[in-house]
Amino acid sequence: MLKNPIVLLDLVNRLGNLMRAEFRRIGSEDGLQPVHVLSLLFLEQANRFSNTPQALAEYLGLTKGTVSQSLLLLDRRGLIERYQDEIDKRVVRLRLSPQGEAFLSETNPAGLWQTATREISANRVRYSVSVLRTILYEIQNFSGGPAFGVCNTCVYCQRKSQRIHHCTWFGERLSGPETRKICREQVPKTGSLSASD
């Protein structure tokens, strides 16, 4: 009999393929490839420690050279903006341009997914998220790359008061909204990996 983890892998692959096809459809009107849509979605979610070409390359599992080309295209189309980092001048920071944000809100690449998950209870979604996140974290352990988790489920994220959080990894203050973005240095709290969070 097929081992259940393999069935799960098959589902992840297939859902990935389907969403890839959906992103292709979404982007085709504007001449964008799936990788471009994925890049825009990433930049929408990445926090200020993770909005670099390098981080995007790790997120997509591609080389930085390849990603550099995709970013060039997005820049030419005016969908993203690139600017130099103040402190480390080798680093390029990325953000969505107003057009990029408009593209996402108009096309809503996740629309199909949202429709498909409408009837699924929040509990079941949360449970699945915790399982997949555990797997992601394990894969990161074995293959070295960052896991890219949501900031507020990270061991380094400390809540100082109602509104103020602090990241003990980067040693910086975080606003509330910032703690809901995804970060390349995220290390999940053990509690956030269980089904009961």
Partner DNA sequence: AAATTTTGATATCGATTCGATACGATAAAG
Partner DNA sequence: CTTTATCGTATCGAATCGATATCAAAATTT
8 Å CB contact between 149 and 190:
no
- Please report whether residue 103 would count as binding its own copies according to CB under 8 A: no
From the list 20-28, 137-145, 167-175, 188-196, the region that binds DNA by CB under 7 A is 20-28
Name which of residues 69 to 98 contact its own copies (CB under 8 A).
Answer: none
Name which of residues 54 to 83 contact DNA (CB under 7 A).
Answer: 54, 61-66, 68-73, 82
Structure tokens that stand for 58 in this block: 């790790």
Residue 191 contacts which entry, its own copies, DNA, none (Cβ below 5-8 A, type-dependent): none
- Please report whether residue 19 would count as binding its own copies according to CB under 8 A: yes
- Please report whether residue 43 would count as binding DNA according to CB under 7 A: no
- Please report whether residue 41 would count as binding its own copies according to CB under 8 A: yes
Spell out a b/e string for 18-53, using b for 16 or more CB atoms within 10 Å of the CB, else e: ebeebbeebbeeeebebbbbbbbbbbbebbebbbbb
**Measured distance CA(5)–CA(18) in Å, rounded:** 20
86 CA to centre of own chain: 24
Q: For residue 93, what are the contacts with CB-CB under 8 A and spacing of at least 6?
A: 48, 51, 52, 82, 83, 84, 85
Spell out a b/e string for 105-114, using b for 16 or more CB atoms within 10 Å of the CB, else e: eebebbeeee
Q: Residue 100 or residue 149: which is nearer to its own copies going by CB?
A: 149
DSSP 3-state of 92? strand
Q: For residue 129, what are the contacts with CB-CB under 8 A and spacing of at least 6?
A: none
Name which of residues 126 to 145 contact its own copies (CB under 8 A).
Answer: 126-129, 131-136, 138-139, 141-143, 145
Name the minimum Å distance from CB 139 to DNA: 16
Residues linked to residue 83 through DSSP beta bridges, in sequence order: 93
Instruction: Please identify which residue in 27, 50, 62, 88 interacts with its own copies, judged by CB under 8 A.
Output: 62
Residues contributing to the site for DNA (CB under 7 A): 21, 24, 28, 31, 33, 35-36, 52-54, 61-66, 68-73, 82, 87-92
**Which residues make up the interface to its own copies (CB under 8 A)?**
1-22, 24, 38, 41, 45, 59-62, 110, 112-117, 119-120, 122, 124-129, 131-136, 138-139, 141-143, 145, 148, 150, 180, 182, 195
